[in-house]
Structure 1
């Protein structure tokens, strides 16, 4: 996946950062036994996913054909390695 730049987009980074903050908030409030804070943190996790999806729809995500190009290049390199060795 590293070769396909999977997740290296503004949409992915923003969504994950927001979700991570929500996870940390939920964890802290769970330890403090405060259900309202826990659910507020869980709402942030969901909001992070929505923000990432909206940003991707706005064109800040990975292009749709990137995965296919990566798979084709990978198959070509594997075929070349087999033919070579």
Structure 2
């Protein structure tokens, strides 16, 4: 998929960064044998997903109709064409 910008949006980056921080927190507390900290980190991971989804709904994600994966071969519209 040359030229695809899948995931290169503020919503995707924010969600992944927050989830990564939560993963690091959970991993640190898992090594420290503190279950409450592990689950707090997992909650942060979920917040990353929720935050990314909310940002997508606010228009900061990639619209489906412009992504090549969501288009059927032979039904691709010309750039700027309305159909």
**TM-score band, normalised by shorter chain:** 0.7 to 0.9
Partner in structure 2 of residue 53 of structure 1: 53
What corresponds to 1:31 in structure 2? 31
Equivalent pairs, count: 74
Stretches of structure 1 that go unaligned for 5 or more consecutive residues are 74-85
Any stretches of 5+ residues in structure 2 without a counterpart? 74-83
- TM superposition score normalised by structure 1: 0.77
Task: Pick the structure with more helix per residue.
Answer: 1
Aligned CA RMSD, in angstroms, stands at 2.3
Q: CA-to-partner distance for each residue in 1:7-48, whole Å, 9 max, x for gaps?
A: 000000000000000000000000000001000000000000
Name whichever of 9-18 and 64-73 sits farther off. 64-73
Summarize the Cα distance change of 1:49–1:69 in structure 2 as closer, same or farther, 3 Å threshold: closer
Pair member with larger Rg: 1
